[in-house]
C-alpha cells in the first residue's frame, strides 16, 4: 500500500502514518526487498518527472521566472560553462545595476520555488481525499 500512496504523491512518512507503520519498518523493507525498492524508486522518479514536466509547461506557457529557473538549473549543453573567477562571483564591489540584476534573478528563483511549493501543497491536499489504506496490502 506504500507504493499506491507514493503513486499519488504521498511521502513515505505520511503513508507509514496512515498505515500504522514505523519509518524504521519502511527503511528495513526498502533495504531487504529489492523488488519493492526498485518499484518505489521508479515511482519517485516518475513523480519527479511529473513535477519537471509541470515546470516545463509553465515555462513554455510564458512564465519568465520559470524559464529563468529552468535555464539556471539545466543550461543547454552548448552554452559556455567557463568557470567564474572569485572576482566575478563577488558582489562586494559590484555596481548598483549589477546588484539590481542579481536581486531580480534571485526574486525570480524565489517565485519559481513558491510556484513549485504551491503545486506540492495542492498534491498533498488532493492526497488527503484518498481512502484509508488497508493494513494487509
Residue 6 clears pLDDT 80, i.e. is over it = yes
In a domain, 87, yes or no: no
Per-residue pLDDT, 72: 83
Domain of residue 21, residue span: 2-74+96-127
In a domain, 135, yes or no: no
In a domain, 65, yes or no: yes
pLDDT digits (tens, 9 = 90+) for 19-68: 999 999 999 999 999 999 999 999 888 888 888 888 888 889 999 888 88
Higher pLDDT, 128 or 76: 76
Tell me if the pTM is above 0.85. Answer: no
pLDDT band, very low/low/confident/very high, at 124 (cuts 50, 70, 90): low
In a domain, 79, yes or no: no
Higher pLDDT, 32 or 2: 32
For residue 95, which phi and psi values (nearest 5 degrees)? -75, 165
pLDDT digits (tens, 9 = 90+) for 79-123: 765 555 554 556 667 778 877 787 777 777 777 777 777 777 777
Q: Are 86 and 79 contacting, i.e. CB atoms less than 8 angstroms apart?
A: no
* Structural domain count of the chain: 1
Beta-carbon contacts of 19 under 8 Å, excluding residues fewer than 6 positions away, are 1, 2, 5, 133, 135
In a domain, 68, yes or no: yes
In a domain, 84, yes or no: no
3-state secondary structure the chain: CHHHHHHCCCCHHHHHHHHCCCHHHHHHHHHHCHHHHHHHHHHHHHHHHHHHHHHHHHHHCCCHHHHHHHHHHCCCCCCCCCCCCHHHHCCCCCCHHHHHHHHHHHHHHHHHHHHHHHHHHHHHHHHCCCCCCCCCC
In a domain, 15, yes or no: yes
In a domain, 89, yes or no: no
Amino acid at each position: 500500500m506504500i507504493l499506491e500512496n507514493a503513486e499519488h504523491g504521498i511521502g513515505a512518512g505520511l503513508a507509514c502514518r496512515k498505515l500504522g507503520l514505523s519509518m524504521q519498518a519502511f527503511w528495513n523493507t526498502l533495504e531487504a526487498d529489492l523488488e519493492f525498492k526498485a518499484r518505489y524508486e521508479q515511482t519517485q522518479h516518475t513523480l519527479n518527472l511529473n513535477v519537471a514536466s509541470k515546470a516545463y509547461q509553465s515555462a513554455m506557457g510564458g512564465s519568465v521566472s520559470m524559464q529563468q529557473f529552468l535555464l539556471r538549473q539545466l543550461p543547454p549543453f552548448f552554452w559556455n560553462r567557463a568557470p567564474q573567477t572569485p572576482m566575478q562571483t563577488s558582489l562586494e564591489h559590484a555596481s548598483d545595476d549589477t546588484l539590481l540584476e542579481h536581486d531580480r534573478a534571485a526574486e525570480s528563483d524565489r517565485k519559481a520555488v513558491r510556484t513549485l511549493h504551491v503545486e506540492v501543497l495542492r498534491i498533498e491536499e488532493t492526497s488527503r481525499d484518498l481512502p484509508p489504506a488497508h493494513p494487509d496490502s
